[in-house]
Amino acid sequence: MRVAPGPIALMRVALGRVDAGIAWLEALVLGLLVLAMTGVTLAQVFWRYALNAPLIWSEEAARYLFVWVCLVGAALAMRQGGHYALEALANRLPAPLRTLAHALAVLVSAGFLVILLRAGIAETQQAALQDSSTLPMTMDLAYLAIPVGAGLMLFHLLASLFRPDEAA
């Protein structure tokens, strides 16, 4: 006889699917951003050296694309457990202390990400008042990478608490 899964198990499955879907979208966006950054950089090299007419906007565009790559990539790394950790130290701790250390690390990380998210939103609102020096855009598009990246990292961090393989 098969027992129907409970509401917590169903929530874990649903959250896991959302988490995986967001990670897939992040990977797609990362690929497109890297492609765009590479294209802009190659165009700059071609115009500068082959045509002797450098593009004035390409360096700034590549820089903003790089910021987006870093912050979206950091979110994907958060999901995959790719951020720096002192696992050698934590693995030497007894099981109860290891669990406490993991909980403390999650708490500190979540606190930092909440602060980064709030500050990123405030900075993005301020940046909306400033124009880019070479691109036809306001700076909020560049600064938006901060709250988006922090929000994605916070989501993946909290979602990891509900993954069966992450339970300490």
Cβ–Cβ < 8 Å for 77, 27: no
Query: Considering the domain boundaries, does residue 68 fall inside one?
Result: yes
Query: Considering the domain boundaries, does residue 2 fall inside one?
Result: no
Write down the H helix ranges in the chain.
7-45, 58-79, 87-90, 95-127, 140-143, 145-160
Specify the number of domains making up the chain: 1
Query: Considering the domain boundaries, does residue 140 fall inside one?
Result: yes
b/e per residue, 95-113, with b = 16+ CB within 10 A? eeeeeebbeeebeeeeeeb
pLDDT band, residue 164 (cuts 50/70/90): low
pTM of the model: 0.86
Kindly tell me if the per-residue pLDDT of 75 is higher than 90.
yes
Query: Considering the domain boundaries, does residue 20 fall inside one?
Result: yes
Kindly tell me if the per-residue pLDDT of 84 is higher than 90.
no
Give the DSSP per-residue string, 43-54: HHHIIIIISS--
Q: Domain span at residue 77?
A: 7-166
Pick the more confident residue, 2 or 41.
Answer: 41
What is the pLDDT, as a whole number, of residue 168? 39
What is the pLDDT, as a whole number, of residue 2? 72
Phi-psi region of 81 (alpha: psi -120 to 50; beta: other; left: phi over 0): left
Query: Considering the domain boundaries, does residue 1 fall inside one?
Result: no
Query: Considering the domain boundaries, does residue 43 fall inside one?
Result: yes
Pick the more confident residue, 86 or 8.
Answer: 8
